[in-house]
A and B are shown apart, each in its own frame.
Chain A
Amino acid sequence: MPTWAADEIMSVVAARLLRDGMSCFVGIGIPSTVANLARNTHAPNLFLIYEAGALGAKPYRLPLSIGDGELAVTADSVVSVPEIFNYWLQGGHIDVGYLSAAQIDRFGNLNTTVIGPDYHDPKVRLPGAGGAPEIAAHCHEVTVIMRHARRAFVPRVDFVTSVGLGPEPDTRSRLGFRGAGPIKVITDLGILRPDPQDNELTLVAIHPGVEVRDVQDRTQWPLRVAPSLEVTNAPTSEELAALRDLKNRS
């Protein structure tokens, strides 16, 4: 039996992918947990940017909201919101950004706006875009972190809030986006990455104890499995201790 929760394995696996010295655009929730877990373990020099204006934030506690005082007082610098979006993001200075969504499709398009076919009469009204379209467009790469639920992994999103990889190999370059887009999707079941041939998200790793069929059952499109399917290393007791310590402080 696994001794970790769904959010814990997602956070640990995502944190391992960060290299020291990277610049990360961090949102509230799991992304903030991931970035600070990495900063507290193997990547002490991560440069964290929060959209409210904090550059080089080093929070001791995880913030509840994106503009918490903890971020401003620990930051190297605090700049205005237009500077964050126009200079830092659109200007191409961020290595990795994190996104989550209510829906993701086979090409990594993300929906955080409405569920249902009619924007003006939605089945569910979600919070909306926030900084997501710019993160998806401009970070050098994007890691998506979300729970693997059948209603969330859909063939086509109802509303494209943030652009993924596109059906064509040159979709992003035709739009003028310099970033690679969502090339890693980390769920509580495994890791998906785009097939280099046609950009379709493909299962490349499963977490310990997970069966491929579990992942396919919770994906609405016929999920491809990479021939070199890997099994992720289980979270170590050190990783879980660091993660739980961070959570307990907050």
Chain B
Amino acid sequence: MAEHLGLSEAISRYVQDGDTVALEGFTHLIPFAAGHEIIRQQKRDLTVSRMTPDLIYDQLIGAGCVRKLLFSWGGNPGVGSLYRFRDAVENGWPVPLELEEHSHAGLTNRYVAGASGMPFTVMKGYLGNSLGEIASHVRFLDCPFTGETVAAVRALNPDTGILHAQRADRAGNVQLWGISGVFREVAMASGRVIVTVEEVVDVLDRRPGDFVMPSMAVTAVCEVPQGARPSYVQDYYERDNDLYRKWPEMSRDRDTFLAWLDESVMGA
């Protein structure tokens, strides 16, 4: 059963230095408020996984929380580079960053295997490319039925999965609609699950295309209105595309980034 907690209590209890943490959400429902709380609590040496690091991991990396990044597409979509990510990779600032690189399907399937309680799952996309050669989480094996070669990808079970959704009820059932990304896979693969929500309501009135993650699959629910800004929450608020476009100039220079961090995250 999920427990209703304040965000700072949930992060302090369920994210420890050195943990593997997945903060997911595909463009939609990115748990920025939880990421900022991790920065405020100065967690260190985290291994973080996300398909698209996005601004949220650029910020965690620039704040020195991250030792290792698992990812599958490391840009600012439609805009360009992530400069804190690049500075950490190219110059080791503020701390060296180890990369473990995937394709979208590869990282997705690692969550699928983890959620399924399997040591690995199989796919084809790594056959014949350089990623399949360099990645330590990819191996090749022959299908026992047909003999064809397939790529095996190792299961990923984060210590803590952190996700955002529209609503929860008092019992901690979580309701989400719109683009769901890998919400279910991360929730089911992770040892502990923190879900931040826009609002807690008495009754979850159902929506077309929604799903409800039962309370028993969730560790903590935190009511954090606006908790996904500057990403978006369908039927609550739109993506702040202007901020995404401005992020390069806010983050390219270390001092400018640190000033932003002090004012907008540490001081918040």
Q: Which residues of A contact B (CB under 8 A)?
A: 28-29, 51-54, 63-69, 71-73, 77-78, 80-82, 85-86, 89-90, 113, 119, 125, 127-134, 137-138, 159-163, 166, 171, 175-177
In Å, the complex CA distance between A82 and B134 comes to: 23
Which chain B residues border A29 with CB–CB below 8 Å?
78
What separation, in Å, do the CA atoms of A131 and B52 have in the docked complex?
11
Partner of A113, one of B79, B131, B179, B244: B131
A86-B105 contact, Cβ under 8 Å, with A53-B26, A177-B127? yes
How far apart sit A80 and B176, CA to CA, in the bound complex (Å)? 12
In the complex, how many residues of chain B place their beta carbon closer than 8 angstroms to a beta carbon of chain A? Answer: 55
The yes or no answer to B94 lying at the interface (CB within 8 A) is no
Q: Which one of B27, B52, B185 lies within 8 Å of A80 (CB-CB)? A: B185
Can you spell out 24 A-B residue pairs with CB atoms less than 8 angstroms apart? A28-B78, A52-B181, A64-B241, A65-B77, A67-B179, A68-B27, A69-B232, A69-B239, A72-B178, A77-B209, A78-B179, A86-B109, A90-B125, A113-B101, A113-B130, A125-B90, A127-B74, A128-B71, A128-B72, A128-B73, A128-B75, A129-B131, A130-B73, A137-B125
Q: How far is the CB of A97 from chain B (nearest CB, A)?
A: 12
Per-residue CB proximity of B169-186 to A under 8 Å, as 1/0?
000000000111111110
B148 within 8 A of A: yes
Known contacts A82-B182, A113-B130, A119-B134; is-contact A127 B26 (Cβ 8 Å) = no
In the complex formed, the residue of B with least CB distance to A176 is B148
> Are A64 and B244 neighbours in the complex by a CB distance under 8 Å?
yes
Inter-subunit contact A81/B178 (CB<8 Å): no
Q: Is B126 an interface residue (CB 8 A)?
A: yes
Q: What residue in chain A is nearest B112 (Cβ atoms)? A: A82
Task: Pick from B77, B130, B181: contact of A53, CB below 8 A.
Answer: B181
Q: In the assembled complex, which residues on chain B have CB atoms less than 8 Å from the CB atom of A64?
A: 77-79, 239, 241, 244
- CA distance in complex: A226, B127 (Å): 31
Does A67 lie within 8 Å of B127, measured CB to CB? no
Taking the closest CB of chain B, its distance from the CB of A37, in whole angstroms, is 17
Are A85 and B105 closer than 8 Å at their CB atoms?
yes
Most buried by B among A29, A82, A89, A90: A82
Contact in complex: A90, B105 (CB < 8 Å): yes
Taking a contact as CB atoms under 8 Å apart, the answer to whether A130 and B103 are in contact is yes
Contact A85 B178 (CB under 8 A): no
Contact of A68 among B79, B81, B239 (CB under 8 A): B239
Known: A85-B108, A90-B105, A129-B73. Contact between A54 and B234, CB under 8 A?
A: no
Query: CA of A90 to CA of B105 in the docked complex: distance in angstroms?
Result: 10
In the complex, which residues of chain B have a beta carbon less than 8 angstroms from the beta carbon of A82? 108-109, 111-112, 182, 185
CA distance A131 to B108 in the complex (A): 11
Cα distance, A124 to B246, chains bound together (Å):
22
Question: Are A52 and B179 touching (Cβ within 8 A)?
Answer: yes
Interface residues as binary, B113-127 with A (CB distance below 8 Å gives 1, 0 otherwise) = 000000000011111
Q: Is the CB of B101 within 8 A of A128?
A: yes
Main secondary structure of the interface of B (DSSP, over half): loop
The reply on B206 being an interface residue by CB < 8 A is no
Q: In the assembled complex, which residues on chain A have CB atoms less than 8 Å from the CB atom of B266?
A: none
Please determine whether A80 and B182 come into contact, CB atoms closer than 8 angstroms.
yes
Task: Provide the bound-state CA to CA distance between A35 and B240, in Å.
Answer: 25
- When distances are taken between beta carbons in the complex, the residues of chain A under 8 Å from B234 are 69, 72-73
Known: A65-B244, A81-B26. 18 other contacts (CB 8 A): A51-B104, A53-B181, A69-B28, A69-B238, A69-B239, A72-B28, A78-B209, A80-B181, A81-B51, A81-B104, A82-B185, A86-B123, A131-B105, A133-B126, A162-B129, A163-B129, A175-B149, A176-B150
Compute how far the CA of A82 lies from the CA of B79 in the bound complex, rounded to whole angstroms.
26
- A69-B238, A82-B109 are contacts. A133–B178 as well, Cβ < 8 Å? no
Given known A-B contacts A66-B77, A130-B72, A81 and B239 have beta carbons under 8 A apart: no
Measured CB to CB, the nearest residue on chain A to B131 is: A129
Instruction: Name the interface residues of B75-116: CB closer than 8 Å to any CB of A.
Output: 75, 77-79, 81, 86, 89-90, 101-106, 108-109, 111-112
**Leading 9 A-B pairs by shortest Cβ distance:** A67-B27, A127-B75, A130-B73, A85-B105, A65-B77, A129-B103, A64-B78, A133-B125, A163-B128
* Residue numbers in B under 8 Å from A80 (CB-CB): 180-185
Q: Is the CB of A69 within 8 A of B124?
A: no
Expressed in whole angstroms, the minimum distance between the Cβ of B164 and any Cβ of chain A is 13
CB pair B127 A176 closer than 8 Å: yes
Q: Name, among A77, A81, A86, the residue most crowded by chain B CB atoms within 10 Å (CB to CB).
A: A81
Of B26, B77, B106, the contact of A28 (CB 8 Å cutoff): B77
Q: Would you give the shortest CB distance from B73 to chain A, in whole angstroms?
A: 4
Asked if A125 and B86 sit within 8 Å, CB to CB, the answer is yes
Q: B104 and A90: CB pair below 8 A?
A: no
